[in-house]
Chain A
Amino acid sequence: MIGALWQVASRQWRTHRLRVAMTTLGIALGVAVFFAIRTANAALLDSLTLTVERLAGKSTLEVSAGEAGFPEEALDTVRATPGVQLAEPVIETIVHTAFQDEGNLLILGVDTTGDQQLRQYEFDKSQTEIADPLTYLAEPNSILLSRAFAERHGLKIGDHFPIFTSHGKKEFAVEGIFKPTGVGEVFGGNIAVMDIYSAQVVFNRGHNFDRIDLTNSPSVSVNELQQRLKARLPAGIEVARPEMKGQELENAVTAMRLGMTITSFIALLVGVYIIFNSFTIAVNQRWKEIGVLRAVGVERGNINAMFLGEAQLMGVIGSGAGIVLGYFVAAAANRAMGSIAASVYGIVTIAVAPRLHPDLVLTAFALGMAASLGGAWMPARAASYLNPILALHNIESRQKESALGWGRVALGATVLLISMLLIQFSPFGVGMEFQFSYAALQLLGLTMLLPLMVHWSARAIRPVMDRVGGSEGALAVDAMIQSPRRSAATVGALMVGLMFVYSTAAYIQSYKNMINRWTDQMLNADLMVSTSSLLRSTSYHFSEDLGKRIATLPEVKHVQDVRFTIVPYHGDTAAICAIEMDTFLVRSENAILNGNKKTAEALLPSGAGVLVSKNFAARWRLKAGNQVHLDTPTGPLDLPIVGMVEDYRSDKGTIFMERKVYKRYWNDDAVDFLDIMLKPGQNAIAVKHEIEQMTAGSEHALVYTNVEFRTWIGSLVDKFFMLSYMQLVVAVIVAVVGIANTLIISVAERRREFGIIRAIGGYQRQIRKMVLLEAFSISVVGVLVGAVAALFNIQFLSRTVSTVLAGYDVPFIFPWLLVLETFPAVVAVSLLAGWIPARHAMKAPVIEAIGYE
């Protein structure tokens, strides 16, 4: 039976090669995008893991305390702990070199002798050890370089080159060059090693270490040693396995990876629409054939199996082709993701080329197959339930499509309502993956309601199309109204793409408005000085001396030192903004929300209370009056929350505290930003130039006027959303392919209809006009339903992504203007996509078309 059915099906494939090819292409594209993104994701994770492994060396545990580090006395405690075989302190910092067009340089401050037992430093063949060990240890400006960096700048042993340190620009002497293996692979080869005590001095670490890397003795398990160390060290100092650092890095790029994953699923979803459409048409085309098969004794199950078998075969071919295509695209996606990870998150890793992960190949293949079967499921079922008596009659016997069945509409509305309730009332704790499934549920509900939305929209535009497009316009819209399922499948691809475009644009615009509101309230200094062109540097800081020097300028009224750092908080992390609170309260008197201003003025300057950002309060369910407990490197710190502020520098939330308190508890007087207030009537640009001259050749200081700072923040936001823009491009490309595909299929399906129109006196140009007007109608309806779907998706972005996941209160604005602006583009793309099918339709031979069933 199967063999006979396959013979029937294969003839259909030969007859409808274009439909089969376009359908298979739809699957291939969906799978390709999915596989490329997942493979690039995996390559990024591989590179994160490899970087961590290379940096960690043989360490089995790491001791750390956030970015500020911890007192060096902890090393004695660690080394004295039974079960510790080897413990080596580390200072890790990323510095700017004075070389033109050179990226940053990662410097590891280590005790080179001891550290070589932990990490792999392979020196050049010509050199078995450090050139002059005594000079290396005695001179704080001695440094060992990776061969990659040295060769790039023509440096050899004995040469000098400049680096910006916390004490200004300093010349460093090359005392050794190591091979690009082991540690030398990290950071694209831009790595250097120096003595840890020299690093403490030149990078203003005082008597702190950033980390202690250690190994356990064979007699003690890693877990046991971890517990012992935790018991001996202050609560603010963490002991963790090195791979946890990899996990932290992964967490940092979670948003990016999640965004890309969503894009990949959207591509697959459009693939499902394409399959659904193609098979609905196939069933219509093969109406009589199905009737004949049923009449000669083929059971329902076998008819169903025939269509699903075809879907499977298309799935196999499409998925296979998609995986091959995706593998090549993955290299480009990997470069893009690596670039974003470096520029937005400041994570630079060892480049790892994408490789074929068997589990990803299987997953992509399985999803391609699932998409094919899922898309073909309903049409196959419809085919198997076809009434053979009706099917054997003429083509006019076909019953009206029942896609507008109220049962389906009620189910769709219910699913949509459930998704909205889940989005609105779901707590943070249920897990990110679970929360993202709400969006899938929302899309499922919208898809079920799509035929109804298409029907209503088409009816709404029919009078206009009738008036503007004449009979062809009305016929084009009628074709949509009368075939809601086919039209829904066509519009579905466009709806998903446009929904994504509109809601993402709304998110970006609303986010930017929110940032503007924040910069108005909080970032109101006349001039600002930053250590980095990124939002902040995690390792390069100013000393307090710079602020004092700037304060001596006659135009300057006041300089405020700001430390912005990340600390461990209740098993997660939080940002700390250490600032002089008395000046902060004067400058940002309206910034405090949900708190008593008088209490704040009384407690904050003395360090007896803290402000927290709204997202911190939302994340930890805190309010004014609650206590914040912090485990600092020098002991516990408990302070009451006296108010909240808006701040968007950290998605984990920010604690604002008096700088003196921070310095005391964290033993850290580094400075990340300088807020400079000028005396009345002073020219900010002139003072900016003065500060630039003052810091030239010493600090790597970026000086901004208030306007420039806001622009800079805007550019950072744009960088952050670079990924979203890429997602938009993917969504639009897939939607365009979807439109072209479905229009070609639609024309194939309506071949007989066009033949009849030609036979009763329709001109060729009328047929072309009809197809193009249908493409136009699809674009109009697509924009309408895309906008409606975006309204729902915005609820998800607003509630789940912003409020629940990030704790940001984003006031959403629907991008009506964008909807209007994109309309001509969507119409143009649709007409372009419809052009070839339209020409195909008008040239089709009438006699064959009429005889075609």
Chain B
Amino acid sequence: MRRSRPLARRPERPAARVQPSSAPPIAVAPVLQVELGTLLLVALVAAGAALRLAALGATGLTVREAGQAFAAWAVAQGARPPQWVGDATSVLTSYLFRLGADGDAWPRLVSGLAGAALVPAAYLLARPEGRTVALLASFLVAFSPLTVAASRTALPGALGGLLAALLAAALLRHWQRPRPQTLWATVLLAALCLGSDAVGLAGLLGCLLFLALAVWTGDHRWPSVVESLRRWPWAVVLGLAPGLAISAIHWGYGPSGALAAPRLWSDLFVLPGDRSPVLTLLALLAYDWPLTFLGLGGAALLLRRAWLARGLDSLSPWERLSLCWLAPGLLVALAGSHAHEGALLAVALPLALLGAVAMSWALVALPWGEAGRAWPAAVLVVACSGALGLLWTLWSRPFSQVSAAEAWGAWLAAVSLMWGLWLAWRRWGTAAAAATALALAPLALGFWPHTVWAVGFHQGAEPLLGARFTVGRDQLARILPQMPAPAAPLALSLGVAEVLGWHLRHLPLAVGDPPPRSGVYIAEATSPVPRGFSPRGEPVTVAREWRWHGDDGRRFWRWLLLREPYGRVLELRVQTMVRTQ
């Protein structure tokens, strides 16, 4: 007989049948308690240091780095080459050489150490804004390819950036609570910035702008700062005197390279330049679009807040200082004609601070807990961007043709992406934005290590880093000792000495016109042959430089993935000449 009790269509699920483990528990007590924030900071500092200091010599020095390193090496030997600027990085590097250091990694060590210290310095600087912002700022500084590139170079920038960050932190501390110690530190660091480099000066200018703004807006803190100057003039003197002394005489190298920062700053804008601001902007996007967009987004958020509140005093001092720092940084990026990877730190650092503002805003404003509801948006983003990426990669192959189906597929993916996101926004609102951000985050997080690897550990074509040496340089270095009269000084033209001097530094060198004793003279391939010399062999390409050309998006994509150059490559060719008379 059938039972009359109806059965639910959906089967009932019994309560959990937990079959507890038969193992007796082992009683354990915590031996230590660590704050999550501290743990994250330690991890960031360690990761930042590892990225900056590991295998510093993995890639050979670039041509510009070699010139800088050769000048420091020559100074350590007692010479004073014309390209010597006397910035703090070069001075410290030359001290390393005097202590016996040798090899490609050593010229980068000062920047590497300064760059590693920049990560906790960013935390220190942003700490008044709360732990979240401070950690985010450290995170951006630690992993940004631009800051990593600036820290793995022999060119000045990272040390100035570190001094500027410490200066800003000291100034903010003094601004909040004037003390003789903070005043002393602020003045000392400001003076040291003058002897550092263009990045240090950019930070100093940002701080001055901040003070000027405070005066202009009548900030209520300004009188107490002025009062502190009156109360503790000795702190100013004690800070200024050693700072200026160090910046001027460089620990015993004399006043020839005094106050290098303003000179390096002005050098950035000298015309004619070697790179247009368009290229610098492109470099910002190609090497660190997450930082650029986040930083500019953060700046826009702050300006919008100030606009709505009808005044900059609605921003915290830290936020105002970050905006003020961005101004000279943007000047370097937009108007600089010689902005190299070290100098770009001038804009990367304030962008990192402002990027932290944007990220912390997004963390609060978006409903991350509801992102799961909008998972189709995330799937759509992953599927369409994956398909578009693969299609672009397929098309960017040399000699590849675009089939009609592929073109339609790409259009379909792009249109689906746009419409899908719009529909998702209509359906789920900000939850869709959170889901999209979560889907795009791995893309950004994947881009960073890829670019960090490219700029720090790989010998690919990098417009940011400038010209790289070719195997021709090694060939040249191998055959030179076999030339006639190897004991006589090897003569190098001024231009070639700047390029090859570092690699030939262990040979007896004479820079300029060949002296009578020299049997071999190396000059640019286009330079005239001096009397008594004749060319030996064909000119050798010792370095190549490549920059983005035209608007070929597909080839640019291939460069982005594989670091393959396209279009014209600039070559530096040298000619070896031997004395015949």
The answer to whether A binds B is no
